[in-house]
Amino acid sequence: MSKFSEYNFKDQKALIRVDFNVPVNEKFEITDDNRMKASLPSIQKIVKDGGSVILMSHFGRPKDGPSDKYSLKHLVDHLQQLAGSETKVLFATDSIGEDAISKAKNLKPGEVLLLENLRFYKEEEKGDEGFAEKLSKLGDVYVNDAFGTAHRAHASTAIIAKFFPADKKMFGLLMEKEVESAEKVLHNNQKPFLAIIGGAKVSDKILIIENLLDRATDIIIGGGMAYTFYKAEGGKIGNSLCEDDRLDTARELLEKAKEKNVCIHLPSDSIIADKFDANADVSGALSNTIPDGWMGLDIGRMATESFCKIISNSKTILWNGPMGVFEMEKFQHGTKAIAMAVAAATKNGAFSLVGGGDSVAAVNKFHLADKVSFVSTGGGAMLEYFEGKTLPGIAAIQS
Ligand code: AMP
């Protein structure tokens, strides 16, 4: 593979897989253009070098081929605005058909061509080789800048790479940063390495915890999933979230952690509520003696204090999942305190990576996204990476 920042794109047509799957309202106005903005640095570097850009993306979940609702044509004007008036943005009404072929062929240096939604072709998600090969013919160089789909072996995210020689395929700037940050945390971490895992369900996080048991020094487990662990150990958790079919798994994870000398930290106390409601009555309790009729919706004061101490002693921090129902003001304190502690540790030299939908939402809510080392854009992809799986989109470039 080549390194994007060192590659000279002069007179090259770069085929970039981006993630333009942005939310739009019923008037097709983009309600959050962060994903489009995130791809700009790669596009700008190619244009500046004197190359041209062919953008490939999916958009929504079209079921039966082309439809107006899922057409990427709705994004063209906004892309033109973002790219600036000096960069001409064109649109092809298909992805591998006549329009795409002729517009790609006639594309001039400095121009950007957006192809129609790849998922209008069922071959895309099937990872069809013929479809991937046709896409590959449109450009000279393949760039993958869509980390969010790196865990899918789709035609445009992985299969296409085999039609380019090693020096003509690479990660884009966004994806390169994702991969470098994730590798730094998983394989090149400085110890103590702390993983903070939260959120609702143990079942979603078993594989990630198992994989981290071979790497982390400490693992903090917060959020709704902590109560399954407390119940597994014989605690009383009232009406707190619990997966009864995962009690054995929780016990096994605690056992394995002991064997591997990894400290698992559960929240010793909780903020409890009499119902799952923003206006619920609130009290505090030890997490293993929550009264009947009450539920733990946030980590308590003692737990927060002890977690913050562990965070401040860590050199590498991975955070996935909130400590409580942070969407409600009464139960946001634990997550906010953890976010602030991660920011403070980062300021003191720790490397921190925040990933997974809700912890990203949390650092954004508390305006701390720029105070951590890296915020991952790929929820599912990042989770699978930390579960120890090989991501097809990464492997296809590296092999
Ligand atoms: P996940 O997608 O598994 O990371 O879970 C995130 C969701 O878990 C958020 O919407 C939180 O509101 C929710 N959550 C966190 N802590 C709790 C809790 N103690 N009880 C119920 N839900 C929780």
Residues 133 and 240 in one domain: no
Residues 253 and 125 in one domain: no
- Closest C-alpha among 11, 56, 17, 35 to residue 143: 17
Give this prediction's pTM: 0.91
Its domain, for residue 115, covers 4-171
Q: How far apart are the first and last CA of the chain?
A: 8
Residue after which a domain boundary falls, among 153, 171, 189: 171
- Residue 391 falls within a domain, yes or no? no
Residue after which a domain boundary falls, among 147, 171, 195: 171
Q: Which helix (H) or strand (E) holds 249?
A: helix 247-259
Residues with CB under 6 A from ligand 1: 199-201, 204, 223-224, 241, 296-297, 321-322, 324-325, 327, 356, 358
CB atoms within 10 A of CB 154: 24
Q: Strand 218-221 and strand 263-265: pairing?
A: parallel
Q: Among residues 73, 177, 184, 201, which one is catalytic? A: 201
For ligand 1, the distance from its centroid to the CA atom of residue 158, given in whole angstroms, is: 32
The Cα–Cα gap between 32 and 38 comes to: 12
Atom of ligand 1 nearest to the CA of 320: 4
Residues 233 and 295 in one domain: yes
pLDDT at 378: 82
For ligand 1, the distance from its centroid to the CA atom of residue 182, given in whole angstroms, is: 23
pLDDT at 399: 83
Residue whose CA is at the smallest distance from ligand 1 atom 15: 324
pLDDT at 34: 86
For ligand 1, the distance from its centroid to the CA atom of residue 243, given in whole angstroms, is: 13
Cβ-proximal residues to 284 (8 Å cutoff; 6+ apart), any chain: 269, 270, 271, 272, 300, 301
Contact 281, 157 (CB under 8 A): no
Residues 115 and 76 in one domain: yes
- Residue 21 falls within a domain, yes or no? yes
Half-sphere exposure (Cβ direction) of 102: Cα atoms closer than 13 Å: 3
For the question of residue 201 being annotated catalytic, the response is yes
Contact 41, 173 (CB under 8 A): yes
Tokens representing residue 154 in the block:
């789709």
Atom of ligand 1 nearest to the CA of 296: 19
Contact 263, 217 (CB under 8 A): yes
User: Is the bond preceding residue 109 a cis peptide, omega within 30 degrees?
Assistant: no
For ligand 1, the distance from its centroid to the CA atom of residue 198, given in whole angstroms, is: 7
- Name the H helices within 32-97: 34-38, 40-49, 76-83
Residues 63 and 160 in one domain: yes
- The total number of structural domains in the chain stands at 2
Residue whose CA is at the smallest distance from ligand 1 atom 12: 325
Residues 297 and 373 in one domain: yes
Block mean pLDDT (10 aa), the chain, length 399: 97 97 94 92 98 98 94 98 97 98 98 98 98 98 96 97 98 96 96 97 93 97 97 98 97 97 98 98 98 98 98 98 97 98 98 90 94 91 94 95
CB atoms within 10 A of CB 17: 28
Tokens representing residue 243 in the block:
């997966």
The Cα–Cα gap between 202 and 268 comes to: 18
Residue whose CA is at the smallest distance from ligand 1 atom 5: 199
Residues 98 and 193 in one domain: no
For ligand 1, the distance from its centroid to the CA atom of residue 323, given in whole angstroms, is: 7
Half-sphere exposure (Cβ direction) of 86: Cα atoms closer than 13 Å: 6
The Cα–Cα gap between 146 and 16 comes to: 9
Residues 208 and 120 in one domain: no
Residues 253 and 351 in one domain: yes
For the question of residue 35 being annotated catalytic, the response is yes
Residue whose CA is at the smallest distance from ligand 1 atom 17: 224
- DSSP, collapsed to helix, strand or coil, labels residue 144 as strand
**219-254 burial string, b = 16+ CB within 10 Å, else e?**
bbbbbbbbbbbbbbeebebbbbbbbeebbebbeebe
Residues 164 and 193 in one domain: no
Q: Which domain CATH number covers 127?
A: 3.40.50.1260
Q: Among residues 60, 97, 110, 357, which one is catalytic? A: 357
Q: Among residues 35, 45, 103, 134, which one is catalytic? A: 35
Residues 231 and 293 in one domain: yes
Residues 276 and 238 in one domain: yes
- 82 phi, psi to nearest 5 deg: -65, -40
Tokens representing residue 141 in the block:
């160089």
Residue after which a domain boundary falls, among 155, 171, 187: 171
